[in-house]
């Protein structure tokens, strides 16, 4: 067993163990990948203030997200095709999150279904919804999430059309993979992954197949998003969905102050400042760069969370210090899952927790809930001047 000390160690193992098409799916941004790259490189621009001779004992990373106790304010983000990185991936990730004490968010585009995950866990998880044109399907999936006891609906607003990720098209991404010659050659080297897949029945989009009507090719993410997603989603429809759901609502994909204000107006419980990990509008600013202005505009009216670019506990600390009440990791836990299944997700959470805890101590703080801009050195023009 190699000594794993960073999220990047897990990424390298994930790359070796998972089929190329699924590793590439996770590791892609759209078009030039500028936003994907800047999501991480902008975190590096922020530095930390070293403080000394302060009591570092009795530290705590516990907090709340939407009123729910969390061992640290780091939830697992919804990630499509998680069950293709490793057999039964969503169940394994949800179990790791449950044991660690952080929220797990199941994607609409998951391989394991809502019911599958509910059956294998006992803590309520969150369900992420993509709004489709087929209202019956949407009503049905909301009812399924309610029946499964999901404690929040995470409505994604930044993916009504799929941003183009070149590698997915070149690799012919499907779930399950279509057995073309290049895919078979690649799969031949992924015996551990293949053995797991042979032992599970969960190999297609579990929330969709058998539930959605009129989808031409259910194995192709790009074709069914193009056929099914509701291009006319607007704030009036979001308000209706809020009513239908009737529980905690988190709006994901807010990157603009005006949209954040709209989220407050409709009475959402939280927003996630996010550019979908750089997978949608390439050329948008990084989420960490947009966070301070959104917090300044609505931070006292709604809970502000953020994702996109977090690869370490230090990144988590920076986001919290800039005003986020909660954060999400997507790729960081997917690397762990692709590397070592449930154990790998736990490892990713442990790595991030340790980095967060020790960084907090070295910044002279003991409680994650008291982190503020004072622990940071932020470049004067960090948010930039954009006309
Ligand atoms: C889906 O959420 C994706 O980004 O592919």
Q: What is the pLDDT of residues 121-136, one digit of tens each?
A: 999 999 999 999 999 9
Best mutation site among 76, 106, 159 for ligand 1 pocket (most ligand atoms within 8 Å of CB): 159
Q: Whose CA is nearest to atom 4 of ligand 1?
A: 279
pLDDT tens digit sequence for 176-189: 999 999 999 999 99
pLDDT tens digit sequence for 341-374: 999 999 999 999 999 999 999 999 999 999 999 9
pLDDT surpassing 90 at residue 224: no
Q: Whose CA is nearest to atom 2 of ligand 1?
A: 80
User: Which residue from 36, 162, 26, 163 is spatially nearest to 82, judged by alpha carbons?
Assistant: 26
Distance from Cα 49 to the centre of ligand 1, integer Å: 36
271-293 residues labelled b (16+ CB within 10 A) or e (exposed): bbbbbbbbbbbbebbbbbbbbbe
The Cα–Cα gap between 256 and 216 comes to: 35
Instruction: Point out the ligand 1 atom lying closest to the alpha carbon of residue 165.
Output: 5
The Cα–Cα gap between 356 and 358 comes to: 6
The Cα–Cα gap between 309 and 265 comes to: 28
Is residue 114 exposed (0-12), middle (13-18) or buried (19+ Cβ within 10 Å)?
buried
Structure tokens at 20: 């190329």
pLDDT surpassing 90 at residue 39: yes
> For ligand 1, is residue 11 a contact (CB within 6 Å)?
no
> For ligand 1, is residue 278 a contact (CB within 6 Å)?
no
Q: What is the 3-state secondary structure (H, E, C) of 148-187?
A: CCCCEEEEECCCCCCCCCHHHHHHCCCCCCCCCHHHHHHH
Q: How many residues does the chain have?
A: 387
- Pick the catalytic residue: 120, 166, 211, 276? 276
Instruction: Point out the ligand 1 atom lying closest to the alpha carbon of residue 25.
Output: 5
Strands (E), the chain: 47-48, 63-65, 68-70, 74-76, 105-106, 126-129, 152-156, 249-254, 270-273, 303-306, 326-329, 376-377
The predicted structure's pLDDT at residue 210: 85
Distance from Cα 349 to the centre of ligand 1, integer Å: 22
pLDDT tens digit sequence for 207-223: 998 888 777 777 888 88
> For ligand 1, is residue 363 a contact (CB within 6 Å)?
no
Residue whose structure tokens are 């089929």 = 19
The average pLDDT across 90-119 equals: 98
The average pLDDT across 84-111 equals: 98
The predicted structure's pLDDT at residue 376: 98
The Cα–Cα gap between 21 and 220 comes to: 13
> For ligand 1, is residue 279 a contact (CB within 6 Å)?
yes
Q: At what angle do helices 7-17 and 331-362 cross, to 10 degrees?
A: 170
Q: How confident is the model at residue 382 (pLDDT cuts 50, 70, 90)?
A: very high
Q: How confident is the model at residue 30 (pLDDT cuts 50, 70, 90)?
A: very high
Q: Is 276 in the active site?
A: yes
Sequence-separated (6 or more) residues with CB below 8 Å from residue 227: 214, 215, 216
Best mutation site among 23, 105, 109 for ligand 1 pocket (most ligand atoms within 8 Å of CB): 109
The Cα–Cα gap between 372 and 9 comes to: 30
Distance from Cα 208 to the centre of ligand 1, integer Å: 15
Query: Taking CA 202 as the corner, what is the angle to CA 200 and CA 204, rounded to the nearest 5 degrees?
Result: 140
The predicted structure's pLDDT at residue 93: 98
Distance from Cα 131 to the centre of ligand 1, integer Å: 13
Q: What is the 3-state secondary structure (H, E, C) of 210-269?
A: CCCCCCCCCCCHHHHHHHHECCCCCHHHHHHHHHHHCCCEEEEEECCHHHHHHHHHCCCC
The predicted structure's pLDDT at residue 124: 98
Best mutation site among 27, 31, 80, 220 for ligand 1 pocket (most ligand atoms within 8 Å of CB): 80
- Across the chain, mean pLDDT equals 96
């Amino acid at each position: 067993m190699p000594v794993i000390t960073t999220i990047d160690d897990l990424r390298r193992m994930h790359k070796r163990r998972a089929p190329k098409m699924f590793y590439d799916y996770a590791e892609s941004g759209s078009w030039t990948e500028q936003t994907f790259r800047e999501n991480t490189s902008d975190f590096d621009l922020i530095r930390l203030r070293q403080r000394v001779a302060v009591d570092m004992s009795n530290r705590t990373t516990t907090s709340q997200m939407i009123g729910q106790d969390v061992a640290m304010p780091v939830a697992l983000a919804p990630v499509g095709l998680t069950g293709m990185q490793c057999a039964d991936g969503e169940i394994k990730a949800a179990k790791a999150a449950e044991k660690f004490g952080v929220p797990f968010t199941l994607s609409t585009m998951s391989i394991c279904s809502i019911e599958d995950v509910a059956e294998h866990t006992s803590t309520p998880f969150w369900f992420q919804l993509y709004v489709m044109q087929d209202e019956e399907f949407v009503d049905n999936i909301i009812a399924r999430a309610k029946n499964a006891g999901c404690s929040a609906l995470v409505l994604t607003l930044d993916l009504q059309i799929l941003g183009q990720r070149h590698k997915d098209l070149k690799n012919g991404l499907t779930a399950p993979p279509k057995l073309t010659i290049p895919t078979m050659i690649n799969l031949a080297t992924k015996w551990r992954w293949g053995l797991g897949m042979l032992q599970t029945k969960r190999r297609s989009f579990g929330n969709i197949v058998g539930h959605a009507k009129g989808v031409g090719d259910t194995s192709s993410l790009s074709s069914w998003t193009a056929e099914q997603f509701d291009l006319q989603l607007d704030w009036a429809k979001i308000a209706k969905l809020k009513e239908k759901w009737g529980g905690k609502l988190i709006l994901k994909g807010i990157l603009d102050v005006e949209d954040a204000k709209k989220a407050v107006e409709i009475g959402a419980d939280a927003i996630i400042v996010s550019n979908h990990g750089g997978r949608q509008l390439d050329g948008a600013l990084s989420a960490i760069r947009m966070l301070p202005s959104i917090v300044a505009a609505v931070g006292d009216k709604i809970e502000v969370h953020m994702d996109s670019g977090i690869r370490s506990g230090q990144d988590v600390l920076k986001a919290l210090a800039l005003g986020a009440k909660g954060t999400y990791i997507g790729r960081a836990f997917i690397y762990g899952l692709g590397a070592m299944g449930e154990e790998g997700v736990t490892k990713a959470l442990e790595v991030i927790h340790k980095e967060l805890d020790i960084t907090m101590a070295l910044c002279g703080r003991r409680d994650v809930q008291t982190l503020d801009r004072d622990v940071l050195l932020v470049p004067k023009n960090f948010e930039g001047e954009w006309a």
